[in-house]
Amino acid sequence: MIIPEAPLTGAPSPHAARFPQVRPRRLRRTAAMRRLVAETRVHPADLVLPMFVREGLADPRPLEAMPGVVQHTMDSLRAAAADAVALGVGGLMIFGVPESRDAIGSGATDPDGILNTAMATLAADLGDATVLMADLCLDEFTDHGHCGVLAADGSVDNDATLQRYAAMGVMLAEAGADMVGTSGMMDGQVGAVRAALDAAGRPDTGIIAYAAKYASACYGPFRDAVESTLTGDRRTYQLDPSGRRSGAREVAQDIAEGADMVIVKPAGWYLDVLSDTAASSPVPVAAYQVSGEYSMIKAAAEKGWIDRDVAVAESLTAIRRAGADVILTYWAAEFAARFAAASGRP
């Protein structure tokens, strides 16, 4: 039952006599009280930090569209990864940016390629101290910027792309990835990668499936980060923003094919899809707070229009409240540092 507050005139509420003991605001009176009864909490262990490593850099390169985020060298990646893990961040998602690209994204399956080298290096550095994830997609490696192999008419060839994904998944597993993130939105991608991993003797390598990935305007800064060569768009394979049931269908398909975890992407603009997924999924549900969501908060805070720390915490809490077990966010390390400071950790 909803109990209206007293009229603004200051007159007693008509319900005061009937419900003299009802005063919900008692539980909001102090910060300690609010903390005690909080319904939703965000912990650094719930967070995954996306990181970019670029081939051929002498020094980390700041990203203009994502202030505070950089393209790493291998050395700076190792240092930043170790720092994030020490702060208690739950996992790392690594994206590789190669110097050269071709039509089939051959750098994705080159054992000496930037992403595979980064996986091997971080696996050696960190061992089981974190969950090491690798993006499994071809868009960073193709000269046309699409997530798959192109057919003669310029469309993405779904089945030819699955063969490349399968090979890429095995290579990443052999390099040391704990999980591979199937982000290309090809039909059957989870099943193809799962079969390839099992056949290669890698049954313990997990798949974190980008199951409900929408064709969003919020990916712009990310495409700068990976130096995307895309012309046109990816609307023939990423989900239409109008679709809610289509998101549920894609999630169900990926789970049926063997996904160990599913992702809703973007997070903040698709909380309805996230809530639906969390209510039905038998596997953990992740949400990706994407580059545009990060940059909007950053830009508004730099203008002085919002309080950055409060906005970050509120945005992550909203994603958790909607049902995410795991959140991929560029704020992960910063949030973890503030969490440690508030907790009195050294």
CATH code, domain carrying 125: 3.20.20.70
Enumerate residue ranges in the chain where pLDDT < 50.
Answer: 1, 3, 6
Give a yes or no: residue 67 inside a domain: yes
Residue whose token pair is 């393209």: 71
**298 is known as an active-site residue:** no
Predicted pLDDT at 9:
54
Collapsing DSSP to helix, strand or coil, 39 comes out as coil
Give a yes or no: residue 305 inside a domain: yes
Which amino acid is it at 335? F
Q: List the catalytic residue out of 265, 281, 320, 329.
A: 265
Q: Which residues contact 73 (CB under 8 A, 6 or more apart)?
A: 53, 54, 57, 58, 59, 60
Predicted pLDDT at 1:
45
Q: How many domains does the chain have?
A: 1
Give a yes or no: residue 30 inside a domain: no
Which of 266, 330, 337, 333 lies closest to 298 in space, CA to CA? 330
Give a yes or no: residue 32 inside a domain: no
Give a yes or no: residue 295 inside a domain: yes
Token digits of residue 344 = 């009195």
Quote the pTM value: 0.92
Q: List the catalytic residue out of 213, 234, 298, 320.
A: 213
- Structural domain boundaries, residue 221: 41-343
Predicted pLDDT at 343:
79
Predicted pLDDT at 10:
55
Give a yes or no: residue 297 inside a domain: yes
Which amino acid is it at 120? A
Give a yes or no: residue 57 inside a domain: yes
**303 is known as an active-site residue:** no
Give a yes or no: residue 61 inside a domain: yes
In 43-178, alpha helices (H) = 74-86, 114-126, 158-175
Round the CA-based radius of gyration of the chain to a whole number and report it: 22
Token digits of residue 334 = 């910063």
| CA 20 centroid distance within chain | 47
Which amino acid is it at 212? A
